Amino acid sequence: VAVEATIANARRNRVSRRVRARLGTLPSGAGPFDVVLANLIASLLVALAPALRDELAPGGSLVACGIFVDRAPEVRAAFESAELSIVGTTSEGDWAALEAIR
């Protein structure tokens, strides 16, 4: 469902030629990528932080969302331990998102 929704949103926003959405495992074997979007629960983001970093090109951005606000510090610490630099955070209600660069 998430892949189909991403593709539909890319079409609506006229960026479908620049967006690739795929369901897969890590490592993907298809990187490195300039941007990785990970809409996952905090425990998965923590566990996968090094693998997500490895999918990024140098200077690439990781946008992580689907994080409960109270778990955001844990995700932030995992990303920083994986040598990712946090460059942005946002929250709305119970949800948080982080942006990190490699």
User: Which domains are seen in the chain, by residue range?
Assistant: 28-101 (3.40.50.150)
Which of 63, 68, 65 is closest to 84 using CA atoms?
63
Distance between CA atoms of 36 and 60, rounded to whole angstroms?
8
Would you call the peptide bond into 73 cis, given omega within 30 degrees of 0 as the criterion?
A: no
| pTM metric for this prediction | 0.85
Half-sphere exposure of 46 (CA within 13 A, CB side): 12
Please name the residue that has the structure tokens 């970093």. Answer: 53
pLDDT in tens, the chain (102 residues): 788 988 999 999 999 998 888 888 888 888 899 999 998 999 999 999 999 999 999 999 999 999 999 999 999 999 999 999 999 999 999 999 999 999
